Structure 1
Amino acid sequence: MRRIFTLIFGLSFVLYLSAATFAQSKGAIPQAHGVDHSSDVSHDRPQVRTESRQDQTEANFEARIERNPALKSKVESMLPAGENLKTAASGFKNRGQFLAALHASKDLGIPFDQLKAKMMGSNSPMSLGQAIHALKPNVTEKDADNEADKAEKEARADVRTKRTAKPVT
């Protein structure tokens, strides 16, 4: 009787541990090093992603602007002559940063390409406020920060711009 009890207890304990382990893996069967060997994968060369996360983010916010006709129209009216949305938006981290730079450029009469160059600087990128102050030294740092805040507020208002229905043709 004692042997049967010990055997049942031991099997129950093993079953309990295996169930807990299975639950922690969320039911997935672990594979060696996260590689699915059932697919045709060449291990002779490194696997390279075709798009970086930043490229996906840039394309994503550009696409969101493109899908919103009211916002697209507003943005295009603020773009420098001869510049398209894709070119102007390249390099910015997100839609808000891009729109704020456009607003600051328009509000303060700073050429957009110069403002963008300061903000995207390869050695030492600047914040919008710092870029405004650098390009307009007569504006105090505090006023430049206030102008940057104002531009960011305008950008947030733009983002909230509702999509208008496309006319049916």
Structure 2
Amino acid sequence: MEAVIQRVEKQIQDILAANPEHFLVEIKVKPTNNIKVFIDGDNGIGIDDLVKYNRALYKELEEAALFPEGDFSLEVSSAGLGEPLKMHRQYVKNLNRFVEVTQLEGQKTEGQLTAVDETGIVVEETVGKGKKAEVVKHTIAFSDIKSTQIQIKF
């Protein structure tokens, strides 16, 4: 499966090269030859772009005869809010949004993502309520992060 993932990754990267604001997040291939490609954009990604990428990649996979029996399915979608952040560009894109960060040792931090650099992130957490509320800044290295989820606040 690793060879399939590498081949699909090269093909989708070539397709995405025409639009540098869009980027590959992840590729998953199931044993049933179900290929799932997750794409994101610095300013989001529209359904029209996803359809265009799906058609182009499907055509290339057919022509490459990666699956000689032609027995594969392809899904190209956005990373989605329910998916954890996986790439540095996703952190930058989601600056000032509320996140929940789970660290490797299990500690969870909820707050606003206020800074991102090459080594980690800063999350500002409001502790307490009213006049006694204070903002605590947590600097978390990428190497200490198990997962980061966007939190929807209403």
TM-score (norm 2): 0.26
Bigger strand share? 2
TM-score (norm 1): 0.24
Q: Which has the larger radius of gyration?
A: 1
Bigger helix share? 1
Which protein has greater RCO, CA pairs closer than 8 Å, 6+ apart? 1
